[in-house]
C-alpha cells in the first residue's frame, strides 16, 4: 500500500472516531478530579467544551490537552487516568479508552475494580488488568497528517458555541483559538514541536509501575510486568521488551502526587517513582 492510499485509509479511520460513539454519548465515563493547565472535550456532536475540576467526562468525548497540561480523571471503577501534555484521548466507553496521541498514566486501585479496562492505541490494545503504568503513543506520520487534515476541517465546521464548566478569567474564544486548536490540529510541516517525549520513535511505548499488562495486536501479544519497558513499532509487529527506559518520562506537578483524590484508594505516591529518567 503506498503512502497516498495509507493516508486515505487513516483519514477514514479518524473520521470514525467522531461518529462511532454517538449512541453512547451522554453516558458518564469519569470525572475530572485534578487539573493543571487547559483541557477541552470534543463532544460526540462536534461541539467543544472547556473542562475544569468536577467536570463529568462522557462516553464519546475526546479530551485534548494543551502544552504543559496534566489532568486526572477518576474512572467509574475507581482507577485514575492522568493525561499528559498535548494528548488526545477518546472515552469510547467507561471501560475502553482510545489514545490517539500523547501520554497517559493509569493508576490502579486497591482492591482492584471489577471492570476490565482496555486502551486502544492505533491497532494495538493494552489490557490493563490491575496494573499501574505509563503509555506514550505517537502514530505513524502519514496517519497523523491525515488526522490533522480532518481535525482542521471538523473544527472549522463547528457551529455551536464553546461551552465551559470553568469559571475562567480569560477570553474563552481567544484561548481556544490560540492554544486549543493549534494543539488539536498539531504543528504544520516544518514547524518544530516542543522538546518532550515526542522525540521518541513513533509507536507505542509502555512503562509498567506495578502489576502486569497484556499488549496485543495483529503481530502478536506479550505480557509486561512491574519495572519493565515495552515498545510496539506498528500494528503488524509484535510487542517487544526494551531493556532500559527509552527516555519515557511522565512528570505531573507535585500536587498530583501529594494530594489525596476522593474515592481513590491507590498509592498516590506511585508517580514519584518515575519522575526521574533512567538511562
> Per residue in 256-265, is it b (16+ CB within 10 Å) or e — as a string?
beeeebeebe
What is the Cα–Cα distance from 248 to 7, expressed in whole angstroms? 28
pLDDT at 166 over 90: no
Mean pLDDT of 113-122: 84
Cα distances (Å, whole numbers) of residue 100 to 55, 255, 259: 21, 26, 28
The tens digit of pLDDT for each residue in 212-271 reads 999 999 999 999 999 999 999 998 999 999 998 888 888 888 887 644 444 443 343 454
Kindly state the percentage of the chain with pLDDT values over 70.
61
Q: How far is Cα 45 from Cα 63, in angstroms, rounded to an integer?
A: 14
The whole-angstrom separation of Cα 6 and Cα 4 is 5
Domains and CATH numbers, the chain: 3-141+195-274 (2.60.120.1440)
Q: Which residues of 176-206 are buried (b: 16+ CB within 10 A; e: fewer)?
A: beebbbebbbbeeeeeeeeebbeebeebbbb
User: Per-residue pLDDT tens for 138-147?
Assistant: 987 765 555 5
Choose the weakest-confidence range: 12-21, 128-137, 192-201, 231-240.
12-21
| pLDDT of 210 | 92
Q: pLDDT tens for residues 71-84?
A: 999 998 889 999 99
Look-up of cell digits 475502553 = 96
Q: Backbone phi, then psi, for 258, in 5-degree steps?
A: -105, -5
What's the alpha-carbon Rg for the chain, to the nearest Å?
A: 18
pTM for this model (two decimals)? 0.74
Mean pLDDT (whole number) for 185-198:
42
Closest to 206 measured CA to CA, from 89, 267, 124, 270: 124
| Contact indicator for 265, 107 with CB cutoff of 8 Å | no
C-alpha separations of 58 from 44, 96, 111, 113, 224 in Å: 9, 12, 25, 19, 30
Supply the DSSP string of 152-164, one letter for each residue. Answer: HHHHHT--SPPEE
Mode of pairing for the β-strands spanning 163-164 and 48-50? parallel
Write the CA distances from 37 to 168, 173, 271, integer angstroms.
12, 16, 18
If you average pLDDT over residues 16-40, what whole number do you get? Answer: 74
The pLDDT of residue 146: 57
Residue 45, pLDDT score: 83
89-93, 167-171, 174-178: which is most confident? 89-93
- pLDDT at position 179 is 52
Amino acid at each position: 500500500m503506498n503512502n497516498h492510499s495509507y493516508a486515505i485509509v487513516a483519514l477514514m479511520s479518524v473520521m470514525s472516531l467522531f461518529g462511532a460513539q454517538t449512541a453512547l454519548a451522554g453516558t458518564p465515563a469519569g470525572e475530572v478530579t485534578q487539573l493543571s493547565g487547559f483541557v477541552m472535550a470534543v463532544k460526540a456532536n462536534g461541539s467543544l467544551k472547556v473542562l475544569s475540576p468536577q467536570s463529568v467526562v462522557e462516553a464519546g468525548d475526546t479530551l485534548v490537552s494543551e502544552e504543559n497540561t496534566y489532568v486526572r480523571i477518576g474512572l467509574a471503577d475507581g482507577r485514575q487516568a492522568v493525561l499528559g501534555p498535548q494528548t488526545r484521548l477518546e472515552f469510547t466507553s467507561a471501560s475502553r479508552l482510545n489514545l490517539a496521541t500523547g501520554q497517559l498514566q493509569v493508576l490502579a486501585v486497591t482492591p482492584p475494580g471489577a471492570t476490565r479496562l482496555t486502551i486502544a492505541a492505533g491497532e494495538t490494545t493494552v489490557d490493563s488488568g490491575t496494573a499501574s503504568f505509563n503509555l506514550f503513543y505517537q502514530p505513524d506520520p502519514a496517519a497523523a497528517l491525515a488526522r490533522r487534515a480532518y481535525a482542521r476541517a471538523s473544527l472549522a465546521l463547528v457551529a455551536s458555541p464553546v461551552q465551559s464548566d470553568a469559571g475562567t478569567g480569560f477570553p474563552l474564544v481567544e484561548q481556544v483559538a490560540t492554544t486549543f486548536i493549534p494543539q488539536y490540529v498539531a504543528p504544520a510541516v516544518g514547524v518544530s514541536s516542543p522538546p518532550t517525549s515526542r522525540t521518541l520513535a513513533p509507536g507505542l511505548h509502555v512503562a509498567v509501575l506495578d502489576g502486569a499488562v497484556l499488549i496485543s495486536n495483529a503481530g502478536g501479544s506479550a505480557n509486561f510486568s512491574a519495572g519493565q519497558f515495552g515498545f510496539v513499532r506498528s500494528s503488524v509487529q509484535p510487542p517487544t521488551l526494551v531493556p532500559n527506559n527509552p527516555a519515557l518520562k511522565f512528570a505531573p506537578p507535585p500536587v498530583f502526587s501529594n494530594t489525596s483524590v476522593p474515592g481513590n484508594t491507590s498509592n498516590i505516591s506511585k508517580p514519584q517513582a518515575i519522575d526521574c529518567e533512567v538511562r
